[in-house]
Amino acid sequence: MTKTIGLICGSLRKDSYNRIIAKSLTDLNDSHHFHFIEINDLPLYNEDIEISGIPETVTSFKSAVQDVDGIIIVSPEYNSGIPGVLKNALDWASRPRDSSVLSRKPVGLIGATPGGLGTAFAQMQIRQILEAMQVHVLPFQKVLISQVDKKIDSDQKVLTDEQTKRYLQQYLHQFIHWIDHTPTLD
């Protein structure tokens, strides 16, 4: 069955490599629907805002998360960890805790960097954070894209490396399968 997959990019940069990788997923598979869930307009999380009234940007972000069958997060690594903007978005999505829109949601993780370690440290952190939120993160498989600047065409803003395309295709295939087979432990 056709799935709707949300893409969250952990970088706000206009020419973000991670956004180019996320965009390439939409070109690699035309059997499913993909759309970006933007996080750039979210205010910094503050519990006072929840009390005084949730802003429209937060409400529509949460609805977008709720409406998709699964989410793939494509994120850089900052100082060996999760970028603050992504953590902020996850914190908003985690609230209120007993009805979090991310709870039990199938989530996949991809990361790209011009560096050599493929965002491994950030992905470990993101996985740990999502686990605390009872998110169904696709286990075992990791997509750690190193030297990403050599794998894309910066002018055209497209992924060109054939091996990376194949990895992403395999990952997508497994993620779609994961959506249908997440454990029901309630």
Ligand X SMILES: Cc1cc2nc3c(=O)[nH]c(=O)nc-3n(C[C@H](O)[C@H](O)[C@H](O)COP(=O)(O)O)c2cc1C
How many Å is the Cα radius of gyration of the chain?
16
Contact between 17 and ligand X by CB under 6 A: the answer reads yes
Options 77-85, 136-144, 160-168, 178-186: segment touching ligand X (CB under 6 A): 77-85
Contact between 24 and ligand X by CB under 6 A: the answer reads no
Options 92-100, 110-118, 126-134, 175-183: segment touching ligand X (CB under 6 A): 110-118
CA–CA separation, 76 and 164 (whole Å): 16
Contact between 80 and ligand X by CB under 6 A: the answer reads yes
Options 15-23, 61-69, 84-92, 174-182: segment touching ligand X (CB under 6 A): 15-23
Contact between 76 and ligand X by CB under 6 A: the answer reads yes
For 58, half-sphere exposure in the C-beta direction (CA atoms, 13 angstrom radius) is 20
| Cβ closest to ligand X, residue 100 vs residue 113 | 113
For 97, half-sphere exposure in the C-beta direction (CA atoms, 13 angstrom radius) is 3
Contact between 115 and ligand X by CB under 6 A: the answer reads yes
